[in-house]
Amino acid sequence: MGKDSADDLAPLSLTRVEESLTRHGYAFVEDEEHPEILRARFDDYRFQFMVSGDEHGVLQTRGRWSHSVDVSRKVQMVKLCNEWNMNRIWPKVYVRRESEGLLGVYGELAADFRAGALDSQIDSAITCGLSTVIAFFHSLEERLGAEIDELDS
């Protein structure tokens, strides 16, 4: 058996998430207003890591696409997100209104560790969350092509 064993299952905590990010060499900051959230940037996308759920056993990795979208393009963006969600297990992707006229596009992966987690499982959940959310953002950029220049204006 590898270095992890069932005896190493331990409750999920934000400290363990910090340790995992540090093991990967990822820079992150704590959110002073929201102590349950860690923030980081990957490929110019903003990410947050949260421990949530009734038993604080769910690790959520959430990324925000680096572009804002005018609300007039909501149907197009929802369609692109739905297409992704229908064809893939994860990450869950969605559009959210952030202000009167602007939408944000998000990707998120939740991992249920209510029974506890090995360090390697937390590492894998973070790696999977980052890589799949970034893959969605890259796919979105590829699908939109030159239209991206119109989004932030």
For the chain, domain boundaries: 8-145
Q: Degrees (nearest 5) of the Cα angle 136, 140, 144?
A: 170
Q: For 78-134, how does the pLDDT look when each residue is reduced to its tens digit (9 = 90+)?
A: 999 999 999 999 999 999 999 989 999 999 999 999 999 999 999 999 999 999 999
**Quick check: 10 pLDDT over 70?**
yes
Alpha helices in 40-147 (DSSP H): 74-87, 119-144
Full-model pTM: 0.90
Fold of 8-145: Yope Regulator; Chain: A, (3.30.1460)
